[in-house]
Amino acid sequence: MVTVNLQICGPIRLAQGQLHVVGSLQPVVAAPGDDVILPCQVEPAFNVAGLTVEWSKPDLRPDPNDRLSRVEYVHLYRDAHEVPDMKLPSYIGRTALFTDSLRDGNISLRITNVTLEDQGRYRCFIPKLKGQTKFSIVRLIVDPSLTETATTETQLDPENFHVPDLNEEIDNKAEYVCGLRYEYMYYECKAAVTGVLRDNEQTSMHAKFNAALIIVTLSHS
């Protein structure tokens, strides 16, 4: 079993006095069957052992046709322990934080025995962090052409830190508050929460709303 570890290091060029959750602009690349570490860190170092830490796949959303569907996590740490009840089934028994390093701000996630289905974007998020940036995105690529040969460790320059831009901050806030709603209701909620909607989202919201209105009208006719 190979561990692929992408480390964050080097001097931080972030706003002084502000806490930031930082990941990596470089993707983590692994072969099927590898163990990987998705790097995520609070800078400057800050004890987060008493805070909630969420790892999720932001491209996965609850089923809008299922009223009982809920947000599920790759890994959820709350009240000083993992909460497995809200975990995506495919990650059960395969993820872990480095709990001894939480006091230093290290919220990196270890995933064992990665598969092609694990590929994608991952979000590390500390909802109650009193800082400027509460989340970051790390991308995992699982390449079947690679073979398990040796441990890969990559040193990163500060230029490779990933700090979310304004659009990501807006989308994250909307997903956190509005994620369990039907699609057209999600866009209405996003507009109310953030005051921002893209043109395609406005079009989609109106189309979905009109479709829902037609269904309701026909059901009562």
CA–CA gap between residue 85 and residue 166 (Å, rounded): 32
Own/partner contacts of 77-86, CB < 8 Å, gap of 24 or more, are: 77/52, 77/53, 78/52, 78/53, 80/49, 80/50
Which residue's entry shows tokens 């570490």?
A: 37
pLDDT at 182 (0 to 100): 43
pLDDT given for residue 54 in this prediction:
96
| Residue 198 DSSP symbol | -
**Confidence at residue 155, expressed as pLDDT on a 0 to 100 scale:** 41
| Six-digit token string for 115 | 């598969």
State in Å, rounded, how far the first CA of the chain is from the last one: 62
Amino acid at 152: T
Predicted local distance difference test score (pLDDT) of residue 64 = 65
Rounded-to-integer distance, Cα 201 and Cα 149, Å? 45
pLDDT of residue 24: 84
Reported as a single tens digit per residue, the pLDDT across 23-82 is: 988 899 999 999 999 999 999 999 999 999 999 999 887 666 666 656 789 999 999 999
CA distance 108 to 103: 12
Q: Where are the domains of the chain?
A: 3-164, 166-221
Q: How many helices, marked H, and strands, marked E, lie in the chain?
A: 3, 14
* Rounded distance between C-alpha atoms, residue 13 and residue 135, angstroms: 17
196/39 Cα distance (integer angstroms): 30
Would you state the pLDDT for residue 44?
Answer: 92
Strand duo 3-6 + 35-38: pairing: parallel
Class of domain 3-164: mainly beta
Q: How far apart are CA 221 and CA 216, in angstroms?
A: 9
Helices 166-178 & 183-194 angle (0-180, nearest 10) = 120
Position 132 scores a pLDDT of: 81
Which regions of the chain are under pLDDT 50?
Answer: 2, 4-14, 149-159, 176-177, 179-184, 193, 204-205, 208-221
